Amino acid sequence: MNATQNLKNDHVIIKRIKNISQTCSNKLYANQFIPITDIEILSVIMEEFVDNFHHGKEEKAYFPETKDKDGFAEDIRKFLIEHELGRRIAMMLRRELEQWKKKTEKENNHESNGPYGSVNEPVARFLKAYAVFLDDHIGKEDKFFDMVEQKDSITNSENETLLKYYESCKTQAGGEVRIQEMVRLIEYLEAREWMKV
Ligand SMILES: [Fe+2]
Ligand SMILES: [Fe+2]
């Protein structure tokens, strides 16, 4: 497999994460109950799979290797800014989740507002913002990757080097076992009742 295709394959998984985030947001806005623990799992997937693992490969390996080629620098500069945006949304989501949890625990102690607390608008908003970010970012990168492949911009030896770098990125993101665990968690969320229409 080549280094560009490897990232495109990640994007197929990331699109599933986008769908979960979008559905989760829609259901929260529609006042449907979703366990906070499910949203926490989604937040871990965003942090570990999207950010540490996938953006790690792009930022530490693929982009540094391609940024001086064929006028790619401007595209890559924008992608890096978008990664920062994604990180910020994920961070704000985590913060709101924490607050929501604390509030829910308090409410449960006082038995005031039912067992699950009220709808959390900021959580719904950041989940939606994350889905929009992923959709936009992945779409642009896929076009960019198509262009890299069309121009045949990466040599065989560069490709080998990139694949080696990817391996060390995987190790930094917790290794093969942890990445497989992330994919299992995505499957778990996809099978949840609230994911069904
Ligand atoms: Fe990216
Ligand atoms: Fe990407």
pLDDT in tens, 4-22: 999 999 999 999 999 999 9
Predicted local distance difference test score (pLDDT) of residue 14: 98
Predicted local distance difference test score (pLDDT) of residue 116: 52
Residue with the two structure tokens 């998984």:
13
pLDDT in tens, 127-183: 999 999 999 999 999 999 999 999 999 999 999 999 999 999 999 999 999 999 999
How many angstroms does the Cα of residue 172 sit away from the middle of ligand 2? Answer: 17
How many angstroms does the Cα of residue 37 sit away from the middle of ligand 1? Answer: 27
How many angstroms does the Cα of residue 141 sit away from the middle of ligand 1? Answer: 7
> Which are the contacts of 23, defined by CB distance < 8 A and separation ≥ 6?
194, 195
Residue 133's SS3 state is helix
Query: CATH number of the domain at 3-195, out of 1.20.1740, 1.10.3470, 1.10.490, 1.20.120?
Result: 1.20.120
How many angstroms does the Cα of residue 141 sit away from the middle of ligand 2? Answer: 6
Predicted local distance difference test score (pLDDT) of residue 106: 83
How many angstroms does the Cα of residue 4 sit away from the middle of ligand 1? Answer: 12
pLDDT band at 110; cut points 50, 70, 90:
low
H helices present in 30-174, as ranges: 36-45, 56-57, 63-66, 73-110, 121-151, 156-172
How many angstroms does the Cα of residue 100 sit away from the middle of ligand 2? Answer: 30
pLDDT for residue 44 is more than 50: yes
**Residues within 5 A (CB) of ion ligand 2:** 141
Predicted local distance difference test score (pLDDT) of residue 113: 46
Predicted local distance difference test score (pLDDT) of residue 73: 95
Predicted local distance difference test score (pLDDT) of residue 114: 45
How many angstroms does the Cα of residue 185 sit away from the middle of ligand 1? Answer: 21
